[in-house]
Amino acid sequence: MSQNVRTRFAPSPTGHLHIGNARTAIMNWLFSKHSGGQFILRIEDTDQERSTPESEKAILDDLLWLGLSWDEGPETGGEYGPYRQSKRLEFYKQHAQKLLDDGKAYPCYCSADELEARRKDQVEKGQSTGYDGRCYQLTDTEKQKLESEGRKPVLRFHVSKNDVTFQDMVKGSITIPGDHLSDYVITRADGMPMYNFSCVVDDHLMAITHVIRGDDHVSNTPRQILLYNAFDWQLPQFAHIPMILGQDRNRLSKRHGATSVAQYREAGYLPETLLNFLSLLSWSSESGDEILSIERLIKEFDFSRVSKSSAVFDTDKLNWMNGMYIRQMESSKFFKDGLLFLKNSGFSDYKLLNKDIFSDLFQEKVETLSELPEKAVILFQESVVPENDEANELIQTDDSQKVFKAFLFHTECMKSWDGETFMQVMKAIQKETEVKGKSLWMPIRIALTGQMHGPDLSKLVTFFGLEKCRKLVQEVVL
């Protein structure tokens, strides 16, 4: 690609990083890395009432947790800074004045109540809604009169009624009829820029070549193109990626469960998983593989394989993928990350665990790290309660009681104890009692853990030691 690709992600620091916005950031990052370009982070904090330093920090932390480092941005710096819109107000002021001087923008004195009354009138008459342009032809005398009334004008961009057509890297050719567009506000009465205006000024001044964002922004694009044309600036290439839906085919929202990166992070999902999973929402590898390393994602990503259709957020698939990534973790990292979840959950005995036993018992058994506190409880129970009626009934059968008594008999005089010895004992019990299969193994598991399914018993009994195993089995003998 001959052009130096520059993409950007421009979050507003008014809350947590939403999953949909994270997917947008990932696609910008992947495309820039695939193309040997730069990924720029810009903070759009002109909404001073809602923007907070805490939200900005949380968003940046989540991006870095996902592995999305930026080439230019806040703190990082770069030749196109500053990278916070609140520090770029002079740029917007200068460019707004140029549009005003060129007759391409004008002050509008209409109040919110007047605009709403006209909108309702348009709806009642079956007309398309939009600003009627009445302030465009105001004389200086009329402007002075309105200002003497205490009215403070916004600045509107004057829209020609020509159709706007552009090529989208995902959707192909898009045309917006000119009569769907009306003169729109580019700066508020206090001089603060509106989104479409500040976005265009920043993207141009920061030399952004590709604007990659959700398709809910398609309606903004023609307005932005008109601004590019008004300044006689070269257009970037646009790519509008499909929105993410819940499994009910409605737009992803809180009713579908977690919607922010922070929530998935806290729930024990790995950053590699989330990066991989979100990359596959509307994009796919030509190979058909779904577990893709960061290196492969960067190498294979391109917009020719981005679907035009909305993507469905499949939590079951995410859980499966996270389980796959957990299996691939180094045991030392699994131990370190897992202990953090135990500690944060208030689990007091986590210091008694070691890397090998922890990995052996749980790494193959969990899909999220947040499952570990509940699963690790079995390691430190002094007494056991069967998890349900079925488990309680099973340990009371004649076969189960035979197994328990035989277990106590065969282990009574033992001096050493490990997984191999345990397996020899169970083999002897099977031969002696003729109880086998589920009827042999599950009673022992329930006696030791209270659960009908769980980690490898030979490894579990090694951690428990002989004395504890005998004590727990003794408690279920009738």
The DSSP 8-state label assigned to residue 53 in this structure reads: H
Catalytic site residue from 152, 254, 317, 431: 254
Chain position carrying tokens 């309606």: 219
The DSSP 8-state label assigned to residue 306 in this structure reads: B
- Residue 89: closest CA among 225, 211, 191: 191
**Kind of pairing between the strands at 237-241 and 210-214:** parallel
In whole angstroms, give the CA distance from residue 191 to residue 386. 68
| Catalytic-residue membership of 254 | yes
Give the strand order in the sheet containing 164-168: 38-41, 6-9, 210-214, 237-241, 164-168, 172-176
423 Rama class: left (phi>0) / alpha (psi -120 to 50) / beta: alpha
Q: Which residues of 350-381 are buried (b: 16+ CB within 10 A; e: fewer)?
A: beebebebbbbbbbeebbbbebbbebbebbee
Q: CA-based Rg of the chain, rounded to a whole angstrom?
A: 32
Q: Answer whether 236's CB lies under 8 Å from 212's CB.
A: no
Distance of CA 345 to the CA centre of its chain: 23
Q: Residue 226: exposed, middle, or buried by beta-carbon count in 10 A (0-12, 13-18, 19+)?
A: buried
Catalytic residues, by residue number, are 254
